[in-house]
Structure formats: structure tokens, C-alpha cells
Amino acid sequence: MNIDYSYIFNLPPFSLDKDEKHKLYEEILYELQKHHSGNCFQYNKLCSLLGNNPALPVRLFKEYDLKSISKDEIYKVMTSSGTTGQTVSKIYLDRETSARQAKALNKIVSDFTGKTRLPMLIIDSNKVLKDRNMFSARGAGILGFSMLGRDMTYALDENMNLNLTVIDEFCQKYEGQAVLMFGFTFMVWEHFYKPLSKMGHRLDLAGTLIHGGGWKKLASEAVNPEEFINGLKMVTNADKVLNYYGMVEQTGSIFMECEYGHLHASVFSDIDILRAEDFTAADVGEKGIIKVTSLLPTSYPGHILLSEDEGILEGVDDCPCGRKGKYFKVCGRMQGAEIRGCSDTYERR
Amino acid sequence: MKDVDILIGSLPEQVKLYSPFDDLLCEFVGSFSKAVLHDTKAKQMPDVISLGYWCRAANIQKMKEKCTDRQERLGRGVAFHVTPSNIPVNFAFSFFFSLLAGNANIVRVPSKVTPERECIIRILKDVLEPYKEIKKRTMFVSYPAKSDATEFFSRLSDVRIIWGGDETIEAIRLHPAKPRCVDITFADRYSLALINGKYVLEADEKEIQRLARAFYNDTFYMDQNACSSPQLILWQNTCKEAKNKFWDAVYSYTQKHYIFPAIEAVNKYCRVCENIIDSDSIDSIVTKGNVIIREKLKALLPDEMLLFRGRCGQFFEYDLEHISEINGIVNEKYQTLSYYGYNPKKIQKWIVREGLTGIDRIVPIGKTMEIGMVWDGYNLTESLSRIISAE
């Protein structure tokens, strides 16, 4: 494999314009294609019929053990936090891929929070991390982000209740300083915002709150991004509340939201919006299926993935925040269609 | 049973049975047909209209004439129907089949409310009113799966008519029925089409458009998810031109008529990937947008065929040298063979001569959805009635 990762890591994370990025990706994707088809037989089979660098549907990682490394090179296996009864994705990581993911995450996030490691409040319970063998997406997310801060403090106890003693102590210790808060969108709302707002409590915490993991659960409560930001700014002193889009199948190369509410592709990853009828590229402003490309994975063939989310490309290279590359928004998980046909008479609900 | 919603009628009383196609039954079905065909709402629902057409007095008369021993037969008693949610008019067909065979009926209607369901129930209610004798042997119900109603109705049944999938059949069979109860089950099936390339090539523009529409009705109209919708497309005497001519015509018909659900683009693509990983017999993938996806097969391997199940326009194609090549793959799962450019009697003869375990129906392309009293290998008039022999 002939990929100069140090070159990519030396680039400022949002510095490449359309043409520069295209050139870089052409080169590296060629290498990744060669590497994965030589080391993952399922991937090789797919390439032989679908052509080079096919997008893999994320569902395939639930159905097959897709990896481009030998068994003894496996460093850890990440799993999606599937709800009970669902099969989970299995993502095989070796040390290199895992380290690359951590490094990329750091590069991307520090573009928003600065290079210094800030005191960090994690809005979750540390019980999520207890089982180190099987890394759930939630655990991996927490662990990944925790590398970016110092003095990691968990805001919730084992029962997902506010641990006010710990939080107050943290607030006093870092009074007047910028801190980093991190959590999953739903957890932050349900177990942090809601109880605080009910108590009428405002925490003296300044700095940035970063959250991700999807709006699906919140949409059913009709919470929109704006309300979320306003809500969190009421219960804390955070000056920035930023969302990110990412998936366990491409950990590290996340898409961060800027102060203008746009999700940005960094040098480590790219996004394409495809039309459902023929998978051609949708125009700016046109809703379609999200395809994500990441330069990071070499231990599993997940560098190009077809998601089950819909999104809209909002522009390229010209976001007022100054970051280069594509920026977009996510519309959420695609709606399951009601298919006609004979089977399925026994209604389970 | 509080969770049972009675839509029509009441629990059938112990009453005398009818012979198949008894005059009263035929008259009632004919009245239903008239009511449907004159109903302004029904007119907007093609499925309901085709039900209405099937129930026409003339059509019923034809079936009656075919049932020559009807006077030596009686219905089996109480029939309990479990009907599918995804083909909205199916419950009504199931009811009429069994009624015409002479049975009293308890029909479990899918709880999913569709305009078709509402329309049929409304018209049935009206038409039943003057037919007191039939009404007291008819009940339409709806209830959730966890209800103990299935258990209760099963114990009353002389016949259970269970529409699949396989899981449903298994679940219903867990409930005991009367010792002499007969289960008529419609399980998950697999269907195929056989196309003579020579005839496609020769077809003029009008004919190829007719064929495309016919094929569309067999497949896309039901999201290719009906048991009789072909999955496997077998070609004989064919060439690239013939195939292109056929698929281009089908594609342009879909462009005008098919509403393609976006998630199906992902689902279909995902199934293509699974097929490629799981099988070694895929030769190539040819697509027309995401609407028509064709997986060309190098071989027909019996163990692999069940992997090759498409939905919403995903087809598996193979060029046959000789029809005998199907012998190796056909099993009891195979239901309908639809054809273009063949003599059906010859295919029928072949199947019988070779003693194949599957394929129950041979119909021209375009007719796979036409349900009738011979279905799934059953002659329903006979299966749903009892013969009184005398020597």
C-alpha cells in the first residue's frame, strides 16, 4: 500500500478546494481499492462485478465479517449500538486504522475548539465504557472524544441521572475557563437538558458543547436543532453548541457543523448526495442518499459507504465560515416503504 | 374477546350446509359484483374492480358448469381465513372462494386500514343485508396478532385458509383445530417467466408495448413481491437485441407508471451486493437506473435459487438451451411459470412427464395476478368441500 498518510495529516483539515481534493482522492482511492481488493475476498468479488471502488451499503457490515487484515492483526472490533433484536455492525480495526481515526478526529475537532486540551465534561455515564472488549459506537465515541480533553468528568451516574456533586465540583474548578462538553444528542437532551431545565438550574460552564449520533429519537419529540441549541444555552453558558455527523463504520473522519449550521467534509473524508432513481450525483439543494468516503480505513473495506440517510448538499468551498470543501445537511434516516406483496400476514404489533 | 373488532355479521350459527355454487350463493356473489361495478368509489380502485369482474354472474356460471359433481358435494362447515395485509383485496377473494364452495366463514381481515378494505366491507355489508341466510353464516373480524381469537376461531374451524408467509402458517398451526379440520395454506412461493426471444424480436411496436405492460402488471404493480411475480427470467432462442427490446419497453413503461420508493434503491443495491458475495454464478449486472436491475446468471444452481429473490424490479436472467435445465432447480417452492411465445400445453406436459415437484400454474405473461378457484395447485372448490359418495 502506497499511501502517504503523514502528508494528509499535515494538511490543515479544511484547506483543500474542489480541484485539489479531487486530485488527492483520485490517487488515494486508487491505492485503497487495490489494497482492499487484494486483502478482502468479499470486496474483491464486489469489484469484479460492480467496477472499482463500489460504495458498500452499511448494512453489509452487519451481515458479513468484512476485513482486510488477518485475524491476529485485529486490535479491536467496534459494534454499532443497535437496539435490541437488531444485528449489529462489526468493524474490524488494526492499530494503524484505529490510531489514524483518533488522530483525524483530533485534527477536525481542534479546528473548532482550538489546539489546547480543555477540561472535559462527558454527558454520559462511565458505565458505557465498562466492557472494553466489544466497543459500542457510543463507547467508542466517548473514548475518541475524550482524547481531545483533559480531566475527563462524567456528568451522569450509573442510572443516567445527573451527578450534581461531580458537576458542581467541575464547575467550580474551571470557573471562568472554557471547557469542552461532549455527549450524544439524545442523551444530552434527555438526561442533561431536561432535568436541568426542570430544576431551573444553569451550570456555570463556558466553552463548546459537541454532540452527535442522530436526531431520530428526538424528532419523535419534535425537537429541532434550533430548540436544541437554545435549550442547551439556557442550562449552560456554552457559547457554541455544535452537532456532528458520523458513523461507526467511518469513525474519526466526522463531519462537524460550523457556526453557520453547515456540516463540513474535512480533508479526511468526502460526501456525495445521490439520486435514488439512478445513483447519479444530485445537484446542490437537491435531496438524495448520502454516500460517504473516508481515506482512513485500511483494516476493513469501508472507505466508500452508501448510508441509509438522506441529505442535501448546500455548497462547495464557499461557506461563510471560510472552510473549504463540501458542506451539507442531513435530513435523517430514509423512510421505510410499504411494499405490496403476499407474505407478511401475521401482524406482530 | 375484547380485542376483536367485528366488521360484519356474527359468529356463524350451526346451520345447514350448501352445495358448491348453490343458486343462492351465486345470486349473492352476482349482486356483490353489480354493487361494486356501480360504486363510484370502487371505480377508482383497479384491484376492487377486478374483484367485481371476477364475481360477475357470467363468470360464476362458467365455474359452476366446470364443477360437474357439485350436487354430490357440500361445504365442509366453518372456514376460518387468515388473510394477507399487503394485497388489500385478497381477503375478499378468499371469502368468495370458500362461500361458493358451500362454507360458513369467519374472515380475519388485516388490521391495516386501506381504502380497498373499507370499500369492500362497506359494499359487502349492504349487499348481505337482504341475504339473511348467508349473513348468519358470515363474520368479518379484525384483531391484533397477540389476541387469543386465533385460538378460539381455530377450535370452531372445519377448514382453515391461511395465507402466508411461512412464518404465519407456522404460527397459526400452533393453535389446535378440530380433528377433521383441513388447513389450506398458501406458503411463500417463487415464480419464473419463460420468454422466447424469437417472438420478442418479431413483435411489432404495438405488441412489444402490450407485452411490457403485461409484464409490468405481473411485477412492478405488486412491487414484484407477490408469490406469482417472476423473479427468474429464462430466455430461449434469444440474443442481445431481443433482450434490449424487451427491457427497454418495460423500462419506458415504468417511467410513466412506477413510483419508485427511494429506500428501495438502497435495498436493491444491498441485495445485489449480497448476491455477489454469496454466489459464484453471477456473470454480470445490467441496470437501467435503479429501477430495473438484472443479474445475469452463468448457471442455475438449486441451492442458490432462493438467494435470488428480487423486489421492486430486480431480476435474475439465464439463457436456457433446453427446458430440461429447469428440472434441476424446480422444487415445491415454485408456483407460477409465465410465458411468452410458447404453447402452455407443451410446458404442462413436460412438467407432468418429468414429475416435477413444483410449478402449479402456467399462464401467459400479464396473467400471473389473476387469482381463481384453481390456485397454488389446489382446486379450491374441491378442497373446500366434502364429497358424499354413493355406490
Higher per-residue pLDDT: A127 or A111:
A111
Give the total number of structural domains in chain B: 2
Domain assignment of residue A226, yes or no: yes
Write the single-letter amino acid at B368.
Answer: T
pLDDT on residue A86: 65
Nearest C-alpha neighbor of B8 from the set B142, B98, B110: B142
Nearest C-alpha neighbor of B228 from the set B259, B187, B267: B187
Pull the grid cell for residue B12: 356463524
* Maximum Cα–Cα distance across chain B: 65
What letter would DSSP give residue B296? E
Q: Is the peptide bond before B165 cis (omega within 30 degrees of 0)?
A: yes
Domain assignment of residue B370, yes or no: no
Give the total number of structural domains in chain A: 1
Residue B128 contacts residue B19 (beta carbons within 8 Å): no
Nearest C-alpha neighbor of B100 from the set B55, B38, B53: B55
pLDDT on residue B139: 97
> Residue A349, exposed/middle/buried by CB under 10 A (0-12, 13-18, 19+)?
exposed
Asked whether the predicted pLDDT for residue A91 surpasses 60, the reply is yes
Distance from CA of residue B385 to its chain's centroid? 21
Domain assignment of residue B154, yes or no: yes
pLDDT on residue A337: 61
Pull the grid cell for residue B247: 427491457
pLDDT on residue A66: 97
Of B87, B188, B265, the CB nearest to A340: B87
pLDDT on residue A342: 55
Pair B124, B22 in one domain: yes
Q: Is A49 close to B262, i.e. CB distance below 8 A?
A: no
- Per-residue pLDDT of A235-294, as tens digits, reads 999 999 999 999 889 999 999 999 999 999 999 999 999 999 999 999 999 999 999 999
The CATH number of residue B83's host domain is: 3.40.605.10
- Per-residue pLDDT of A162-212, as tens digits, reads 999 999 999 999 988 999 999 999 999 999 999 999 999 899 999 999 999
- Radius of gyration for the alpha carbons in chain B, expressed in angstroms and rounded: 22
Pair B36, B85 in one domain: yes
Q: Where are the alpha helices (DSSP H) in A201-256?
A: 216-219, 225-235
Residue B1 contacts residue B142 (beta carbons within 8 Å): no
Pair B180, B241 in one domain: no
When pLDDT is averaged across residues A61-89 and rounded to a whole number, the result is: 84
- Per-residue pLDDT of B292-322, as tens digits, reads 999 999 999 999 988 899 999 999 999 999 9
Domain assignment of residue A345, yes or no: no
User: Which residues of chain B, if any, have pLDDT below 70?
Assistant: none
pLDDT on residue B310: 92
Domain assignment of residue B203, yes or no: yes
When pLDDT is averaged across residues A54-83 and rounded to a whole number, the result is: 89
Domain assignment of residue A339, yes or no: no
Reported confidence tier of residue A80, pLDDT bands at 50, 70, 90: confident
Domain assignment of residue A127, yes or no: yes
Pull the grid cell for residue A126: 462511565
Pair B304, B264 in one domain: yes
Residue B98 contacts residue B159 (beta carbons within 8 Å): yes
Higher per-residue pLDDT: A220 or A144:
A144
pLDDT on residue A325: 97
Complex-level ipTM: 0.91
Domain assignment of residue B369, yes or no: no
- What pTM value is reported for the model? 0.90
Pair B16, B75 in one domain: yes
Domain assignment of residue B141, yes or no: yes
**Cα-Cα-Cα-Cα dihedral of B233, A52, A278, B320, to 10°?**
-10
Asked whether the predicted pLDDT for residue A341 surpasses 70, the reply is no
Whole domain around residue B146: which residue ranges?
Answer: 5-188+376-387
The residues pairing with A90 across neighbouring beta strands, listed in sequence order, are A79
pLDDT on residue A85: 54
Domain assignment of residue A196, yes or no: yes
Pair B55, B178 in one domain: yes
- Per-residue pLDDT of A306-324, as tens digits, reads 999 999 999 999 999 999 9
Of A59, A339, A343, the CB nearest to B188: A343
Distance, in Å, from the CA atom of A114 to the CA atom of A127, rounded to the nearest integer, reads: 29
Pair B75, B214 in one domain: no
Q: Of all helices (H) and strands (E), which one includes residue A263?
A: strand A263-264
The CATH number of residue A308's host domain is: 3.40.50.12780
CA angle A49, A52, A58 (to 5 degrees): 80
pLDDT on residue A241: 95
Residue A325 contacts residue A14 (beta carbons within 8 Å): yes
Determine contact: B298 vs chain A, CB below 8 A: no
Write the single-letter amino acid at A185.
Answer: T
Distance, in Å, from the CA atom of B59 to the CA atom of B51, rounded to the nearest integer, reads: 11
Pair B178, B197 in one domain: no
pLDDT on residue A332: 85
Domain assignment of residue A8, yes or no: no
Domain assignment of residue A338, yes or no: no
The CATH number of residue B325's host domain is: 3.40.309.10
Helix axes B205-218, B240-257, angle to 10 degrees: 60
Domain assignment of residue A344, yes or no: no
Distance, in Å, from the CA atom of A147 to the CA atom of A159, rounded to the nearest integer, reads: 24
Pair B194, B184 in one domain: no
Pair B12, B114 in one domain: yes
Distance, in Å, from the CA atom of B79 to the CA atom of A225, rounded to the nearest integer, reads: 55
Pair B127, B200 in one domain: no
pLDDT on residue B136: 94
Distance, in Å, from the CA atom of A192 to the CA atom of A71, rounded to the nearest integer, reads: 41
Pair B208, B107 in one domain: no
DSSP string, A315-330: EES--TT---SEEEEE
Q: Is B164 close to A345, i.e. CB distance below 8 A?
A: yes
User: Which residues of chain B have a CB within 8 Å of the CB of A277?
Assistant: 260, 265, 289-291
Residue A192: partners with Cβ closer than 8 Å, 6 or more residues away? A123, A155, A156, A162, A183, A235
Whole domain around residue A310: which residue ranges?
Answer: 15-333
Distance, in Å, from the CA atom of A165 to the CA atom of B59, rounded to the nearest integer, reads: 81
Interface of B with A in 56-115 (CB under 8 A): 82-87, 90, 110-112
CA atoms within 13 A on the CB side of B217: 17
Q: Is A49 close to B282, i.e. CB distance below 8 A?
A: yes
Reported confidence tier of residue A347, pLDDT bands at 50, 70, 90: very low
Q: Is B226 close to A349, i.e. CB distance below 8 A?
A: no
pLDDT on residue A344: 45
Determine contact: B276 vs chain A, CB below 8 A: yes
Asked whether the predicted pLDDT for residue A134 surpasses 70, the reply is no
User: Which residues of chain A have a CB within 8 Å of the CB of B260?
Assistant: 276-277
Matching residue, cell 452537532: A243
Lowest-confidence segment of A15-19, A131-135, A227-231 by average pLDDT? A131-135
Nearest CA in chain B to A280: B289
pLDDT on residue B38: 96
User: Which residues of chain B have a CB within 8 Å of the CB of A306?
Assistant: 266, 269
Residue B124 contacts residue B99 (beta carbons within 8 Å): no
Domain assignment of residue B223, yes or no: yes
User: Which residues of chain A have a CB within 8 Å of the CB of B290?
Assistant: 276-279
Q: Is B144 close to A336, i.e. CB distance below 8 A?
A: no
Of A306, A339, A345, the CB nearest to B84: A345
